[in-house]
Structure 1
């Protein structure tokens, strides 16, 4: 798949093109016997991660040669103090992909100063690209766009159960699975890819919960930007402003869903009565 882009493209168009270029590689290499590259602590990359990231970098270098990039595999490229930095996760869900599970995402986001001003999350196997220009959020299928509309109607809440758990034992997402109020109101899902964050913006999930420190995260930046632009409620795990205090992420389709989950999460806190 050939992705053509020029310097006249907007940042959102660049993000979409880059995500689609990476998604094409991920799709084309699916099912092949791929080399694995150990990253420690049980984590690894595949040849598809590296090839997809290179395809994304090629688009970004052609369209925005002066911008810096942080890639999941390549690390930091360009000036460390660059005001414009692209955050690239070429294959979010590598373990899923390695065992031929189709639940993966390709994430590209632009941080300008302290804000994410453009982002795209592509699903390689549905030809869907969730994208934002920093103000509104859309789903592109083929060449058609439709606005992302959050909804809690599914009652599905995605939980990230993967380590690290910096706030344990005071908070563990897994404990929500045994919380009576959670069981009564919601249905858990664990897809192990941040595609699920984009699904909250799209109304396919009621909420998403994870621990961790996510500032400048190549995994989460695109999904968070999509949710904010779509009008979701986005906070840290204890309801605090994102990327402050305990960190984490609690994103919900609406205020009622967010308040219910926040109450359940806060019941785990040892410092509260």
Structure 2
């Protein structure tokens, strides 16, 4: 069955791999799973490991000359491979481990196609690098970002490398933010797919260069292809110059959030007397 995927284009490979991983995640949900300590409070479960093995099997069969960087298994394949896949087999492991279904399976070809699968809704959000779609029940619908929900996902998970200059949690105390938006904390990059599909107005997280992260690459590719505004928390393009992410459904929302971030940063620099 896997060998039959060799003729698929990159987007279909990403979809097949993400779906296969999602099947594993869904099948193992609710079981008493072994936890693998990764330090600093982070851990993986047997579901993370099994899903990644399944995803890698799909990719290796379809693209044997490509390398893969997996969250759990690290880099595999030729060191000089021209192409690399980035795999996060279960984004939202803590959610999953405590019985929360808010998780995502992320598969991305670096600078190319990508797919984000929701194991429990059955949705697969995907892009060929140019356009973005969601597939459910074998029907594909073009993704259309919109700020209409006014829901903004704020990632509060540590570490906070930009603190004290910036912490996403500071936005929750900004009067303009709570007047205009409704904060949410999903704690999985599924929220990026939701921005691309109009279920969220924006997503904000701290961090370094996330553009080639196994956690974020698929969601970033999806949002860019859908027409979202994607920058770092300093407004710079993602990459070495940009830190963290501010992803919005439209330019107006992005401008507003950036002004709030800058005002909070300025207030912190000036001290409590401002």
TM-score, shorter chain, exceeding 0.5: yes
Instruction: Report SS of the residue matched to 2:24.
Output: helix
User: Secondary structure, in 3 states, of the residue corresponding to 1:108?
Assistant: strand
Provide the residue aligned with 1:168 in structure 2: 163
Q: Report whether the alignment pairs 1:10 with 2:9.
A: yes
Which among 225, 231, 234 is matched to residue 235 of structure 1? 231
CA distance in 1, matches of 2:152, 2:193: 13
Q: Distance in 1 between matches of 2:182 and 2:11?
A: 34
Q: Distance in 2 between matches of 1:145 and 1:153?
A: 22
2:233–2:245 contact (8 Å) kept in structure 1: yes
Which residue of structure 2 lines up, in the alignment, with residue 90 of structure 1? 89
Q: Name the CA shift for 1:233/1:272 in 2 (closer, same or farther; >3 Å).
A: farther
Is there any run of 5+ residues in structure 1 with no aligned partner, and where?
none
Return the match for 2:203 from 204, 208, 219. Answer: 208
Show the counterpart of 1:153.
Answer: 148
**8 Å CA contact retained: 2:196, 2:222:** yes
Q: Which one is further off, 47-56 or 235-244?
A: 235-244
> Is 2:125 aligned against 1:130?
yes
Aligned-partner Cα distance in 2 for 1:21–1:200: 24
CA RMSD of aligned residues (A): 1.5
Aligned equivalents of 1:195, 1:65: Cα separation in 2: 28
Tell me the residue number matched to 2:113: 118
Residue of structure 2 aligned with 1:266, choices 256, 262, 265: 262
C-alpha contact 1:5 1:17 (8 A) present in aligned 2: no
Partner in structure 2 of residue 41 of structure 1:
40
DSSP-derived class of the 1:76 partner: strand
Alignment partner of 1:54 is 2:50: no
CA contact (8 A) 2:133 2:142 kept: yes
Structure 1 CA distance, aligned partners of 2:180 and 2:72? 39
What TM-score does the superposition give when structure 1 sets the normalisation length?
A: 0.95
Q: Which residue does 1:139 correspond to in 2?
A: 134
In the alignment, the residues of structure 1 paired with residue 260 and residue 189 of structure 2 have an alpha-carbon distance, to the nearest angstrom, of 22
For normalisation by structure 2, the TM-score amounts to: 0.95
The answer to which structure has the higher helix fraction is: 2
For residues 28-72 of structure 1, the C-alpha deviation after alignment (integer angstroms, 9 at most, x for no partner) is 000000000000000000000000000001100110011000000
